[in-house]
A = this chain, B = another copy of it.
Amino acid sequence: MTTTLASGADLFAKHRATLDGARDAIRTRGYYSAYPESAKAYGESAMADGKAAFDARLGKTFALTQPTTGATVAPERSPYGIALDVQYPVVDVDALFAAATQAMKAWAAASAETRTGVALEALARLNAHSFELAHAVMHTTGQAYLMAFQAGGPHAQDRALEAVAYAYDEMSRIPASVVWEKPAKPEPLRIEKRFRIVPRGIDLTIGCSTFPTWNAYPGIFASLVTGNAVVVKPHPQAILPLAITLDVLQGTLRDAGFDPQLVTLAVDTPDHLLAKELAQRPEVKLIDYTGSSAFGTWLEKNADALVYTEKAGVNSVVIDSTADFAGMTKNLAMSLVLYSGQMCTTPQNLFVPAVGIAAESGRKSFDEVVAALTQAIDAVLGAPERAVEFLGAIASDATLQRVDAENAKPGVVKRSVALEHPKFPGARVRTPVIAVVDAADRERFSHEAFGPIAYVIRTANTDESLRLATEQARDKGAITAIVHSTDPTVLEKAQRWAREGKVNIAVNLTGSLLVNQSAAFSDYHVTGGNPAGNASLTDAAFVANRFRIIETRTPAA
């Protein structure tokens, strides 16, 4: 692709309407999307072109402009069983940081508009790579194709744009200069003050294995727009989506006259995991992290940099009563099935009173609730060719082992079974395992059981359900919560307890919206107030500390 060299200012003007739309949206938190989630919007050949672009990456060395030792590493394995063998350059860490530091100079000196224009151009170009990214996300994370396209492409781009809008908003609130005139005798004191936005330094973005673009883009783009350089350390199983992203970013920077080494890729090798070493580099002033709680908490406690984390949590559903029993169970079944429970937003613990619940069709016993849920899962999954489009594939061996172990435990009412994938014989497809446990059995359910594992927990009553859900959010972290109730006092109590657990809550979802879904510009993803993470996508706090303001005071004439 040949691109005309365009200045950042030109790019800012070119994408102005997109930015303005995003800035409006973050004020109302209403519906907005800049990048279509419908495949049709991309033209007839886009899907095939994306597939071809992805295929062309396989079995080759991935070229990026950055220092390398000359060695390469190819750690990724497709959960669908196809051969990837993309070889990534092994980095020379010292040289990488030197290059990033050097590249940051001109970038930091550019205007906020220039940096924003370049970021918006990169997003437009990434959008044109959405189908290539879909395959890259699918074959690293195990997501089904449609989810990989939407969440890995346009939804991730929207989330990036949201962060750009917040960052630009924050920067534009700082005047370039003012003449400060203080009344005094015999004449006022007049001082010219200039305010410069100065980046913190290098941002280290540590990617995750499940939504490598969606989770990494907000930090990457917020840091870039505020003048920082970014070193991306991807999860060793999900490199390609971020490598393609950096390839596009480097090309955009180059075309706009900036050093592409402003963004670089640092890939682990099996005998040299990089995250700790990179996180402790003195040049690293910001860290954006998505991943396990253990390492996220280590970063929060040990890194000198500002750290923004999304870690793990235990998400709860409190079922008190419903006016749409079938809709409720179907909605929950979809939530549990989607991407085999490998979303940080998937419910894990479903609290149901031992005495059962009230429904529009009369009382449902505890066992009837459980039966309806497992039947709804079966109905959602249907035949394997349909099921795999919801389930995707299991990304890691650890998850497979966890599911197998759970299958063998007491209380299982629905075992996880392996399904054949009609298109990918090597795909690791698993249905969810559902177990019924008692409220007293905390050991079993009060930690994250990542993957297609859910517990229906028998409680004394809804108060106990709410109390347990709140405690877990507060103590273990939670990213989502649902309550089903027709009783306004229960709903009021649930919201009060959600505020105490600092978790976002959904109420009576019985239609197509799932609690798993988080919409850019509208839903704050992770509250940042419980152990599931210390930051939110996206609010002002996520961007406002990525730069500093340096002031110059000069007496004015």
CB atoms of A523 and B499 under 8 A apart = no
Interface residue A511 (Cβ < 8 Å from any Cβ of B):
yes
CB atoms of B198 and A502 under 8 A apart = yes
Q: In the complex, how many angstroms separate the beta carbon of A239 from the nearest chain B beta carbon?
A: 32
Interface residue A61 (Cβ < 8 Å from any Cβ of B):
no
CB atoms of A30 and B180 under 8 A apart = yes
List the B side residues contacting A304 at CB < 8 Å: 301
Interface residue A6 (Cβ < 8 Å from any Cβ of B):
no
**Could you tell me which residues of chain A, from 523 to 543, have a CB within 8 Å of some CB in chain B?**
523-524, 527-529, 536, 539-541
- Which of B29, B503, B548 interacts with A528 by CB under 8 Å? B548
Q: Which of A188-196, A408-416, A417-425 has 4 or more CB atoms under 8 Å from chain B?
A: A188-196
List the B side residues contacting A528 at CB < 8 Å: 545, 548
CB atoms of A541 and B545 under 8 A apart = yes
For this chain, the copies found in one complex come to 2
CB atoms of B27 and A522 under 8 A apart = no
Given contacts A28-B175, A503-B550, A512 and B544 within 8 Å (CB-CB) = no
> How long is the Cα–Cα vector from A376 to B528 in the complex, in angstroms?
54
Q: In the complex, how many angstroms separate the beta carbon of A309 from the nearest chain B beta carbon?
A: 13
C-beta contact mask, A1-45 vs B, less than 8 Å → 1, else 0? 000000000000000000000000001111100000000000000
List the B side residues contacting A541 at CB < 8 Å: 541, 544-545
How many chain A residues touch B (CB < 8 A): the figure is 61
CB atoms of A550 and B502 under 8 A apart = yes
CB atoms of A173 and B527 under 8 A apart = no
Interface residue A181 (Cβ < 8 Å from any Cβ of B):
yes
CB atoms of B29 and A195 under 8 A apart = yes
> How long is the Cα–Cα vector from A541 to B26 in the complex, in angstroms?
18
Given contacts A503-B550, A552-B498, A553-B505, A523 and B28 within 8 Å (CB-CB) = no
Interface residue A49 (Cβ < 8 Å from any Cβ of B):
no
CB atoms of A555 and B511 under 8 A apart = yes
List the B side residues contacting A549 at CB < 8 Å: 524, 527, 536, 539
| Known interface pairs A29-B193, A510-B555, A527-B548; 19 further A-B residue pairs with C-beta atoms within 8 A, sorted by A's residue number | A27-B175, A28-B175, A29-B195, A30-B180, A189-B511, A189-B513, A191-B513, A195-B524, A196-B499, A198-B499, A198-B529, A200-B529, A505-B552, A507-B553, A511-B555, A527-B550, A536-B548, A536-B549, A541-B544
Q: Which residues does A use to contact B, with CB under 8 Å? A: 27-31, 170, 173-175, 178-184, 189, 191, 193, 195-196, 198, 200, 301, 304, 495, 498-499, 502-513, 519, 522-524, 527-529, 536, 539-541, 544-545, 548-555
- Enumerate 9 A-B pairs (CB-CB under 8 Å) in ascending A order: A27-B175, A30-B181, A178-B522, A180-B519, A184-B512, A189-B512, A195-B524, A503-B550, A509-B555
